[in-house]
Homo-oligomer: A and B are copies of this chain.
Amino acid sequence: MLIRPATKDDAVAIWSIIGPTIGAGQTYALPRDMSEAQALAYWMGADRETFVAEDGGRIVGTYYIRANQAGGGCHVANCGYMTDAGATGRGIARAMCEHSLAHARSRGFRAMQFNFVVSTNERAVKLWQSLGFAIVGRLPGAFNHPLCGYVDALVMFRAL
C-alpha cells in the first residue's frame, strides 16, 4: 500500500470514500447532508495536509492531519481517517494512522489528539488504543447517533 499526499486529481476518489461515511452520520460529527464541495473543502482544507492510501492504483483510504489548536496548543496534531467501505478489515486505517504518527513527528508535533471518537465505533476505539492512544476524556451523550440515539464521545490522546 502506498500512502502519499493527496492532489486535486484525487478529489473524486476522496469524495467516493468520505461521502458515504458522512452521509451515514454514525462516526463523524459532520452534517449528514454535506455537499461534495463542502465535504472536500473540509477534508482538503488549507489548514491541513491530506493523504490518500493507494492499493494497486485504487484509492482505498484517506486522512488529514492538522494542528488541533492554535497558539499555545499548536504542538498537538489532530487527524481524521476514512476507509473505503468496500475495503475495510485490511489494515488500511492502521496503516494510515501509523503513517500519520510518523508524519506528525517529522512535522515537530509532540502529541496527537482525537477530539471526538464516537463510543459506539468500537473498532476504531480498539484500533487507536492498540496504536498507543489513551482515552483521556468522555463526553456524556455528546453524539446523537442515527441508530443508537445519544451516545458518549471519547477524547483520545498520545504523546509522540
- Chain B residue, CB-CB nearest to A145: B72
Majority-rule SS of A interface residues: strand
Q: How far is the CA of A133 from the CA of B72 in the complex (A)?
A: 23
Q: Does A75 contact B (CB under 8 A)?
A: yes
Contact among B28, B70, B138, B159 for A140, CB-based, below 8 A: B159
Within 8 A of B (CB), among A109-160: 110-111, 113, 115-116, 118, 136-146, 150, 153, 155, 157, 159
User: How many A residues touch the partner, as a band?
Assistant: 35 or more
Q: How far is the CA of A118 from the CA of B71 in the complex (A)?
A: 12
Q: How far is the CA of A25 from the CA of B71 in the complex (A)?
A: 7
Q: Would you call B29 and A73 a contact (CB within 8 A)?
A: yes
Q: Would you call A70 and B29 a contact (CB within 8 A)?
A: yes
Q: Would you call A137 and B155 a contact (CB within 8 A)?
A: yes
Q: Would you call B116 and A139 a contact (CB within 8 A)?
A: no
